Structure 1
Amino acid sequence: MPKRRLSERQIERIRTIQERRRERLATRADAALAEFDAHSEPMEGRVVVRHGANLAVEDGKGRIHHCLSRQNIGHPVCGDLVVWQSTGEDQGVVTAIQPRATVLSRPDFNGRDKPLAANLSQLVILIAPEPEPSGYLVDQYLVAAELIGVQPLIVGNKMDLLGADARAIFTRRFSHYPDIGYEIHWVSMRDPETLASLIARLGRETSILVGQSGVGKSSLVKTLLPDREIQIGRLSKATGLGRHTTSAATCYRLNGGGFLIDSPGVRSFRLGAIDREGLQRGFREFAPFLGRCRFADCHHAHEPDCAIREAVESGSIAPERLANFHHLLGRKPGQG
């Protein structure tokens, strides 16, 4: 069933309600900071959960603090590095957001970018034999990774569902990605040995998982985070958020090092508004051929002397990649 579109009046009403909530939160945060001790030392931390007005901030020693956010500093998200001050036992106020190295966003109901997570270094794209994988969706994720400056990693999950012949056919469909320079790991939850190289790869990064519904994201998270329930309990106890931590973007520590951000929001992730030049930059194999077309505004469709189409004909660019470029170029912002 298609989603019901909001009217302008409903959108404005939502904005007004959200602004009132932010004002009340700002008043609470400023009052808490003034009441405790104006001379408390600023400290650095990382936002590991945000649920509404509540933030869980991890300090340099790994201790969790329940924080509010001070007025006019912006909106902290999971993964943000922040400056905060204590207002009591395991309580505090975030007073500044450090500059973000990267930020993953998606369009909100008004078409504007809404940050989901910050300071990522890796976007892990899950595919599986079931449900039928979408190369178009994979390319959307790859473009997003290129444009925000994070390393993408493709993971083929549920490979135990395929026999040898079917597996060969399946993996061949994605063989052009390693040629472009994208790393692929083929894994199965039933074969722990297939996960070893993936775990090592995650250990060096701050990663977030994305992919179609049904590709085994939850099972992979449970495997990668055997102590997830312990971490959730620790967050719940420190912040009073209870089980709400499972419905908000959460940054977990991996046993082998690194961080994994688990966010329900990325299930509906889509690219926001993007122009032709920006989209071209998202296809890394286009780079050697850009600027070599006869026309500066070439769309690489039917124009004569198109360097990109010539690269497709010579085998330097996979035809499905150019097809997905055209699909993305023609879509409306926020569409799939």
Structure 2
Amino acid sequence: MSWWSDEAEPDEPYGDYDESQIRSRPNPKANRPRTKRRPDHADSVTGMITGVDRGRYSVLVAAGVPESADPERQVTAARARELTKTSIVTGDRVQLVGDTSGDAGSLARIVSIDDRTTLLRRSADDSDRVERVIVANADQMLIVVAAANPEPRVRLVDRYLVAAYDAGLQPLLCVTKTDLADPSEFLAHFAALDVPTFLSAQGAEPVEAIGRALVGHETVFVGHSGVGKSTLINALVPEADRATGHVNVVTGRGRHTSSSTVSLRLDTPKGNGWVIDTPGVRSFGLGHVTPEGILKGFRELEEVMRGCPRGCTHLSDAPNCALDEAIRSGALDVTGAGRVESLRRLLEDRD
């Protein structure tokens, strides 16, 4: 009988053996005890994320650190394995190790993220509680909206304002294409908020005035596709060379030209700042914002809402809501009533 038979004879080789006769090759990696000790990366350098592209991060090292002997340079980096599930976005301050020379073909490694001062987020829609981080450490938001082509959307600007106040950003407003339409009626909706406002026409962009407001700040630009955001950024930062598009005459919609969020240095005679360009959006979900956070975007209604009963939801079916009484009595004009309607719509969409 052959040795591979089910009933091997004792006098044949391989016919009778036990486990003690089997030799196994040791695996030193598998048998090595794991350690919780991690390198402290004492030799790491600090950098600022200026752009993200398919898993590679553009990092500006020694930015704004005049006392550092390290020369300012642009470095390409990848994230460390332990940061695989951590979101790294434009504006983040990070610690780098590895090849931080910035030479062609070099690649550094991001090993940690510094604490963030602010975080601008949005969700896919109001029912989505999963937040999408847009930018970190910005302190201002410039909302760009066109007076016409495409038509200004009051509700979208309301969402931007809520997101700005919720994130701790100071909002600014710029209305472009004022040579095509008068923006007075649109701006009346936000007059009570005392938001700094700039008017821009084709070939007459308020570059100097906006530049003064951006000096010393990190300002994120947001706006609907086709409103002229990239054109405005090119006027402020000529070397940016951001792609510009056009508005479809049939649909009235703009074409996406900015595909990623990028930080650009702003240099003016009065000082420097950072301009953060973001892709144009047609919706801005607030699913991650609490009802209290939504109320921050309607600060002109705070005084009226103090007269509401405790626990008032401020919705249209809320009993004895002071907002309804203010509308009935004329304490809130037509514009104020429109702001109440916008607030309630956001609260209902959130619910």
Give the TM-score range, shorter chain: 0.7 to 0.9
Kept in 2: contact 1:188–1:195 (CA 8 A): no
1:48–1:252 CA contact under 8 A, matched in 2: yes
Does residue 315 of the first structure (1) align with residue 332 of the second (2)?
Answer: yes
Deviations 1:89-115 (A, max 9, x none): 323111111111111122259751121
For 1:111 and 1:39, the matched residues in 2 are separated by: 35
Code of the aligned partner of 1:315: L
Determine if contact 1:42/1:85 at 8 Å carries over to the other structure.
yes
Aligned to 1:249: 261
8 Å CA contact retained: 1:106, 1:115: yes
CA–CA distance in 1 between the matches of 2:279 and 2:322?
A: 40
Q: Residues 212-251 of structure 1 correspond to what in structure 2 (within 5 A)?
A: 212-229=224-241, 247-251=259-263
* Alignment-mate amino acid for residue 123 of structure 1: M
- Report the 3-state secondary structure (helix = DSSP H, G, I; strand = E; otherwise coil) of the residue aligned with 1:89: coil
- Distance apart, 1:284 and its partner CA: 1.6
Counterpart CA distance in 2 for 1:72 and 1:286 is 46
Deviation at 1:137, TM superposition (A): 0.7
Give ranges in structure 1 of 5+ residues lacking alignment: 1-33, 231-244
Distance 1:306 1:124, change over 3 A: same
Unmatched segments (≥5 aa) in structure 2: 1-37, 63-70, 243-256
Aligned counterpart for 1:282 among listed residues 297, 314, 339: 297
**1:92 aligns to what?**
108
What is the SS of the residue equivalent to 1:75?
A: coil
Cα displacement (A) at 1:54: 0.5
> How many percent of aligned residue pairs carry the same amino acid?
29
Q: Give the distance between the partners of 1:88 and 1:207, measured in 2 at CA.
A: 27
Matched, 1:202 2:217: no
1:267 positional shift: 5.2
Instruction: Give the CA deviation at 1:156.
Output: 0.7
Q: Does 1:65 align with 2:75?
A: yes
CA change 1:183–1:89 in 2 (3 A) is: closer
Please, which of 43, 46, 57 is the counterpart of residue 45 of structure 2? 43
| Aligned positions of 1:122-271 closer than 5 A | 122-130=140-148, 131-162=150-181, 167=182, 170-192=183-205, 194-229=206-241, 247-256=259-268, 257-264=272-279, 266=281, 268-271=283-286
Distance 2:260 2:343 in 1: 32
Root mean square deviation of aligned Cα:
2.8
| TM-score where L is the length of structure 2 | 0.71
Corresponding residue SS for 1:152: strand
Shift of 1:161: 1.9
Query: Partner letter of residue 340 of structure 2?
Result: L
Is 1:325 aligned to 2:325, yes or no?
A: no
Give 1:252's aligned amino acid: L
The Cα shift of 1:195 comes to 3.1
Whole-angstrom CA distance in 2 between matches of 1:116 and 1:143: 15
Where 2:309 maps in the other structure, the secondary structure is: coil
Stretches of 4+ aligned residues off by more than 6 angstroms: 37-40
Task: Tell me which residue corresponds to 1:116.
Answer: 134
When Rg is computed on C-alpha atoms for both structures, the one with the higher figure is 2
Contact 1:249 1:262 survives alignment (8 Å) = yes
TM-score by length of 1: 0.74
**C-alpha offsets along residues 247-292 of structure 1, whole Å, 9 cap, x if unaligned?**
3211100122111111216554322244433322332223334443
Question: By how many angstroms is 1:139 displaced?
Answer: 0.4
In the alignment, the residues of structure 2 paired with residue 114 and residue 218 of structure 1 have an alpha-carbon distance, to the nearest angstrom, of 22
Q: Match of 2:225, as an amino acid? A: S
Q: Call closer, same or farther: CA 1:115–1:39 in 2, change over 3 Å.
A: closer
AA in 2 matched with 1:103 = L
Q: Within 2, Cα distance between the matches of 1:204 and 1:309?
A: 42
